[in-house]
Chains A and B, each alone.
Chain A
Amino acid sequence: MSDITSLHSSLVTRVLEGEGRASPEIRRAAFDNEGLTEPIGAFVDKVAHRARMVTDADIDTLRKAGLSEDQVYEIVVCAAIGQATRQYENALAVLSATTGRD
């Protein structure tokens, strides 16, 4: 079996706690898709749930709000990993509950 457990854990730690231009608080909130002020909150929710609908105008809105490209980059990466992690952990928990094994 392939095993991404430790690779997943280190990826999450790196994007949330590693060196970055966006604050760790904003990165964590983007990962959780929770507790962000606008316009970042609506943008992060779009990354999590309707990424294909993101437009140039969405990015321009963040630039006008004072975010640098590197901050936008980090927020997007955290939002994408956060949503995929929620899917992944939900499915693993359901599998474990279904089979009765960890």
Chain B
Amino acid sequence: MRLTILDNGHGIRAKAIFVLIRVISGHPVVDAVKLALYRPDFYRAGGLTQEAMRGPSEWSVADRELMAAYVSKVNETEFCIAAHTATSALAYNDGAKVSATLADLETAPLSEPLRATLRMLGTLTRDNRVDAADMRRVLAAGVSEAQIKDALAVSFAFNVTDRLADVFDFAVDNPAAINAGAKYLLARGYR
């Protein structure tokens, strides 16, 4: 972490939670949790991320975790790529599908609606904008307006989180801790 306040500037309650996490999980507290529990009255995005990732949607949880991994891949945010690749792979029970998507979206074994949606999210993330032709291609692939809005909510959440992870320099955890985190995110979500 580049800011010492995010490592050890927390209040007593958060520090107590960190002790519990270390004891119960057997892993260090991940930097995303340290950020989430720092001054929660200021930046408190857990509810928004929970709604985007676990709220009602025609997309599965696995699909939305793949969107999070894909947006993070475009942003080149190592912490979020690792976390959401693992979570998506666990949710699909198919790590090869997630790896193939991040390696080459065009040849990955995905449904065309999901591929078209990821392509649009990639353009939005890379260029900060999309145009009507981009959007028409997604609709033509059979994606509903509601699905597009849901995907844009995921993209919003991770375009914020990726920037924070990069600027604050989140440490990429070891594979065992990443997998434990993936299981937690599927069982408990983002709150």
Contacts and interface: CB of A to CB of B under 8 A. Distances in A.
Interface of A: 1-4, 7-8, 11, 14-15, 18-20, 47-49, 51-52, 54, 56, 59, 69-70, 72-74, 76-77, 79-81, 83-88, 90-92, 94-95, 97-99, 101
A51 B52 CA distance: 23
A51 B160 contact: no
B146 A1 contact: yes
Q: Majority SS of interface residues in chain A?
A: helix
B125 A69 contact: no
A80 B160 contact: yes
A67 to B, nearest CB: 11
Interface string B35-73: 000110111110110011001111000000000000000
A95 B125 CA distance: 16
Contact of A98 (B3, B125, B136, B152): B136
Given A2-B55, A15-B43, 10 more contacts: A19-B41, A73-B39, A77-B43, A80-B163, A84-B157, A87-B156, A88-B155, A90-B124, A98-B139, A99-B139
